A and B are shown apart, each in its own frame.
Chain A
């Protein structure tokens, strides 16, 4: 292909049939009939509309060499389907694509690792699975092991590895893949934030080598850092293709008050929904950027479609990498009503927020008293915390400590502290925020 186009998609569409495979063919005979049919008719037979849906519909775009494009959209918008088609894992139902260059696809880190094999053997295996030549892997072997920091364990079967070690080794191999076109699906979202930073560095290195990157993520923060262009998908259709800021704005508008990704039941069945959410500073001005140490005022408008007894309103501040940094609960703070119905407004003011500079999204949940039944779970709005110094290198939050410093004398390490601690100084790390956070968010995600 001439020119500078790395990927050209032309009307790419993918239709899935609903239901399990058992429902698709009532018997072997149906299957055989279908097979015979598909052998002689090259076009896919039209399935009745009620049984199928388009996971991707008419996606048309061009991506130039060296361009980094983010793919965003809610769950089920077709992001992963698009990557699966481009990486040739599945075939499109209609449309076509042309890809010019060596493709590396990381839809999951560590697929193909075999638990019985040692780290060394798995490096060779996984490298081959990702399409690297044995010579190439052998040449990079030492670099891979160093990157993973697993030299002493390299001859241990990976089933004895911790999950962290496992991911590190897998990623180390993947990071030494040198594709011209890289398809990344959320893989950067696994692991802790330090690991994620390593992943971002890897992506940056590829950028510098002028690799073309197609990057699926729910993490708007990394999309913003990596891509100047986004493709925003909604229900399988390309809704927007253009500058990142504009695309994210549209996406966040759609996300606003949508069900959280882990919600299992149909939002239409929720007895109560949050109909609006807004953030203000102390002066009552609506804002989306707050300074470190500023209080945030959260106002929720709700509508109880059925009478709800003893609702507990919970708001979690989720960092852009999905960590629940703090939780506020009306019940924990002693605010509870016996019974509500119809519309209402509930407001709270946070203590001065000591979260580090990052992007946070509100998750709003209503549960029955005692953190029982989930009544609704929605993604609220999002905001930034701004501070020149304190970013995630400093952890989740930052509080000043009380210091004492003497020099020149031998000190008794057991002597009583002579600095009187101020009340704020006694807040234990994660103290007030953590217990409800882990209780609510993690149990819900399972």
Chain B
């Protein structure tokens, strides 16, 4: 980005600020976000510190929650409902998909409600508001890393050796992050005006989860509906993730490219929408 511009510290302390109503449609002021990167860092650290503070088990919760979810899924869907799992042990099958999903759901929940939770800051202090959804999607990455280690243990237990496809975990995670950010950019400003979002989000995420191949394999979807199913951008991410860590099948390129283009659309639109709405946050929140 504008590295040359920001590398000189003088830029932060010096310089003329113009204040006027209604900047241009595409004036996203990403340079401002970069100048406030320290605040972004501090807010992420704060969220991580606060999350498990005064919880006796601390960060162990990051492990306990998904492990319990997988245990329940295994019993209910694997044993009772006998849902196929592409020939893999059901716990591994579910855990590999639950991992990116748990991250995604948490990131959406946080970025969707973050603005309202920081209303004190927004009312009293100036900083680029984009920092808030950004911090909200970055902080849960740490939980992801912790649970990823659990997945590795699980793989070892079942004697599954991940292959070179593992290299695709970071880019797939990045896709999930960008999608969560895009959701946050849309939902956050709406939540400022309509607190309904806070109540809607749990339903939305639950429906979204069952509309994604987490407890069941993508192969269960009838071929003629696959295109519709793949409109859910998380389908490509989750299937890709399973492929990356378990080596099953091959990534559905059509689904992935559909996801990617949808995410780009959502993200760019979200940025413009967010910057539009940003001006009235302090007045409405």
Contacts and interface: CB of A to CB of B under 8 A. Distances in A.
A191 interface: no
A90 interface: yes
Given A112-B121, A125-B42, A87 B126 contact: yes
Given A116-B53, A128-B42, 10 more contacts: A39-B272, A89-B282, A90-B280, A98-B17, A99-B16, A102-B12, A102-B13, A117-B50, A131-B127, A133-B9
A1 B16 contact: yes
Given A35-B273, A111-B121, A88 B50 contact: no
Given A31-B193, A102-B13, A114-B50, A91 B42 contact: no
Contacts of A107: 124-125
A125 B127 CA distance: 13
A116 B50 CA distance: 6
Contacts of B22: 42-44, 91
A100 B46 contact: no
Contacts of B17: 88, 98-100, 103
A211 to B, nearest CB: 13
Contact of B42 (A43, A94, A124): A124
B125 A129 contact: yes
A42 B25 CA distance: 8
B54 A116 contact: yes
B125 A96 contact: no
A129 B18 CA distance: 21
A16 interface: yes
22 contacts: A12-B19, A21-B193, A21-B194, A25-B193, A39-B272, A39-B273, A44-B22, A84-B282, A86-B19, A88-B17, A90-B283, A92-B19, A96-B21, A100-B17, A105-B125, A107-B124, A111-B124, A116-B50, A116-B54, A128-B43, A131-B12, A131-B127
Contacts of B50: 114, 116-117
A36 to B, nearest CB: 10
B25 A121 contact: no
Contacts of B49: 116-117, 121
Select the residue from A25, A102, A103, A131 with max chain B CB neighbours within 10 A: A131
Select the residue from A21, A25, A43, A134 with max chain B CB neighbours within 10 A: A21
Contacts of A117: 46, 49-50, 53
A16 B25 contact: no
Interface string B9-32: 100111111111110110000000
A96 B126 contact: no
A340 interface: no
Nearest to A9: B19
B276 interface: yes
Contacts of A31: 190, 193-194
Interface residues of A, number: 51
Select the residue from B12, B124, B127 with max chain A CB neighbours within 10 A: B124
A265 interface: no
A35 B277 CA distance: 8
A125 to B, nearest CB: 6
Contacts of A84: 282
Contacts of A90: 279-280, 282-283
Contacts of A44: 21-22
B3 interface: no
A94 B190 CA distance: 24
A267 interface: no
Nearest to A185: B124
A98 B14 CA distance: 13
Interface in A13-49: 16, 21, 25, 28, 31, 35, 38-39, 42-44
B38 interface: yes
A66 interface: no
Interface in B261-282: 272-273, 276-277, 279-280, 282
The 10 A-B residue pairs with the shortest CB-CB distance in the complex, in nearest-first order: A96-B20, A88-B126, A97-B19, A128-B42, A91-B279, A111-B124, A102-B13, A90-B282, A99-B17, A107-B124
A134 B49 CA distance: 18
Contact of B276 (A21, A38, A94, A112): A38
A120 B39 CA distance: 16
Nearest to A43: B22
B79 interface: no
B232 to A, nearest CB: 22
A275 B17 CA distance: 47
Contacts of A21: 193-194, 284
B82 interface: no
A85 interface: yes
A21 B193 CA distance: 6
B123 interface: yes
A108 interface: yes
A74 B39 CA distance: 35
Given A39-B272, A116-B54, A133 B193 contact: no
Interface in B122-179: 122-127
A328 B64 CA distance: 65
Contact of A114 (B19, B46, B280): B46
